[in-house]
Structure 1
Amino acid sequence: MTSRHQAWIRERSALGAAVLLVAAVATSAARAEPVRAVVELFTSQGCGACRTAEPILRDLSRQPGVIALTLPVTYWDYLGWKDTLASRPLTERQRAYARGRGGRQVFTPQAVVDGSGVAVGSDRVALDRLMRDGVQQDGLPIAVHGEARGDRIRVEIGAAPDAKTQARGEVWLVPVLRRRAVAIQSGENGGRTATYVNVVRGLQHLGHWGGQPLSFDVPGTLAEIADADSWVVLLQGGADTKPGRILGAAKGPGL
């Protein structure tokens, strides 16, 4: 065998290994771990107690099977500092969760897990327990997939596991800002810089799901609200006035 032939074999072997590596990475991406829990943290820049919940949410956001969202609310704005990321729809979402539980009390930091379990947002033990209980109940039951395709977003919702059971829910596209540091100048947190992750910047209703496979192809501009740079898809039971259990979810780019 000539040295030229040996070099050719080595080059082909290296090329083949590279192709296999690319294929393995693609397969791994296609088989990304499905979302097993959604954690919504209702918080405020004017809430002194919220600072202990922020690092917990940042840690949860790094877990592959978890969607961890920050939802800044407006009802502490009168305490000397107006939250720069808060919006009324997020405040109303927290109040709607409270109505669904038969009450009206809301507080910060409050975490809602999978649309049903509630805990103090700084109580990591309670949050882990709620997520663990959800997994033991087979996690989120409906497959949800979201993909950016050029200037469009493709959303696919799976079928209910039991065709005989009446199932329904609402599909939401949730624009998020992946990271933002805020220098708070007054109020209970005056003088500190808070770092937030996956800040919800809006709630875009895509449509109703009735238990059958469903897909949406929507313009990417729906997720380009305020300074959002990614998005999440949620399939949630209940209604606008009383949101129920989150049945399925998917992460957008970079989450």
Structure 2
Amino acid sequence: MKNTLLITTIIAFSVLFSLNCFIFPDSYEELTGKLTSQKNKIETTANNGFAVVELFTSEGCSSCPPADELMAKLQSENKDKNIYFMAYHVDYWDRLGWKDQFSSNEFTVRQQQYQNWLNLYVMYTPQFIINGTTEFAGYNETTLSKKIADALAMKETSSLELSARSDNDSLEISFKTNLSEKNQSLLIATVQKEAISKVARGENKGNTLHHVQIVRQLKGFTLNEKEGNIAIQKPANFNTKDYELIGFIQNTTSGKISATAKVILR
């Protein structure tokens, strides 16, 4: 009996660590109460700071829909603020019976990079990263709002200007920045503004999920000059109504994001 219990325990822990994921215990009903009852105004200052808020999520994780909803709520309530929301759907939950249609191993690799930059022991969903330097596990609105407000309060010294021109299947992007430091990359995220997905299997079986700010592709370019031109391929069904482009400059050694801007589409 003791041997059976020991084997069962070992298997349980093996499954947990093979997923590299934590599941947060708050019930959906409890969370819904948090989201609807709390009003956490995100304050801004005269510093004109910014917050790049990256969410690592998955349709196969039962703790992720509340985080998706929280991001959508904050986006809706803070349209006038310098906050850039992006959701990356990782693929390591796909093995549990439901393949997230928005998932990509590319985004799992990006989360692994953050694990290295931030010296974390494990990866998990849902995980928020703010400006590449601060991480937050879960979906507590008060805590996330405070971290975003802290980022907005930082004085912004770097600048980034972006514009784009459509050329058949590609987008020609012009950039200009005052940043001259080494080990910098310019990243361009192609973002689908919203989508609805009906989940047929897995932990969210039977649920209809509403997503916002879904990153469909992320392209990086080494930043050797203060201004120049780059090109990216358009994803399938790209249009200026349902998609937007967000660019940001990130240090390839520390992960710190020093400047960001939305691409002006011409």
Q: TM-score, normalised by structure 2?
A: 0.71
Instruction: Kindly provide the amino acid, as one letter, of the partner of residue 157 in structure 1.
Output: K
Query: What is the CA–CA distance in structure 2 between the aligned matches of 1:172 and 1:96, rounded to whole Å?
Result: 14
Contact kept? 1:35, 1:249, Cα under 8 Å: no
**1:55 aligned residue:** 69
Contact kept? 1:237, 1:244, Cα under 8 Å: yes
**2:20 aligned residue:** none
- Cα shift at 1:82: 1.2
Instruction: Kindly provide the amino acid, as one letter, of the partner of residue 171 in structure 1.
Output: L
Query: What is the CA–CA distance in structure 2 between the aligned matches of 1:59 and 1:153, rounded to whole Å?
Result: 32
In the TM superposition, what are the counterparts of 1:181-220 in structure 2 within 5 Å?
181-209=196-224, 213-218=226-231
Contact kept? 2:49, 2:153, Cα under 8 Å: no
**2:235 aligned residue:** 225
**1:5 aligned residue:** none
Contact kept? 2:49, 2:151, Cα under 8 Å: no
Instruction: Kindly provide the amino acid, as one letter, of the partner of residue 143 in structure 1.
Output: S
**1:244 aligned residue:** 255
Contact kept? 1:175, 1:223, Cα under 8 Å: no
Q: Which sections of structure 1, spanning at least 5 residues, go unmatched?
A: 1-33
Query: What is the CA–CA distance in structure 2 between the aligned matches of 1:251 and 1:35, rounded to whole Å?
Result: 15
**2:17 aligned residue:** none
| 1:16-50 Cα deviation digits (max 9, x unpaired) | xxxxxxxxxxxxxxxxxx77111000000011111
Instruction: Let me know the Cα RMSD of the aligned residues.
Output: 2.2
SS of corresponding position for 2:144: helix
Deviation above 4 Å: which 4+ runs of structure 1?
Answer: none
Residue 66 (structure 1) aligned with residue 83 (structure 2): yes
Instruction: Kindly provide the amino acid, as one letter, of the partner of residue 198 in structure 1.
Output: Q
Tell me the number of residue pairs that the alignment of Structure 1 and Structure 2 aligns: 208
Query: What is the CA–CA distance in structure 2 between the aligned matches of 1:137 and 1:237, rounded to whole Å?
Result: 17
**2:162 aligned residue:** 146
Query: What is the CA–CA distance in structure 2 between the aligned matches of 1:43 and 1:157, rounded to whole Å?
Result: 32
Query: What is the CA–CA distance in structure 2 between the aligned matches of 1:216 and 1:66, rounded to whole Å?
Result: 25
Query: What is the CA–CA distance in structure 1 between the aligned matches of 2:264 and 2:75, rounded to whole Å?
Result: 14
Q: TM-score, normalised by structure 1?
A: 0.74
Instruction: Kindly provide the amino acid, as one letter, of the partner of residue 65 in structure 2.
Output: R
| 1:120-149 Cα deviation digits (max 9, x unpaired) | 24122222222222222214x321122233
Contact kept? 2:193, 2:244, Cα under 8 Å: yes
**1:12 aligned residue:** none
Contact kept? 2:49, 2:152, Cα under 8 Å: no
- Cα shift at 1:61: 2.9
Instruction: Kindly provide the amino acid, as one letter, of the partner of residue 185 in structure 2.
Output: E
- Cα shift at 1:231: 1.5
Q: Which sections of structure 2, spanning at least 5 residues, go unmatched?
A: 1-47
Change (3 A) 1:128 1:156: same
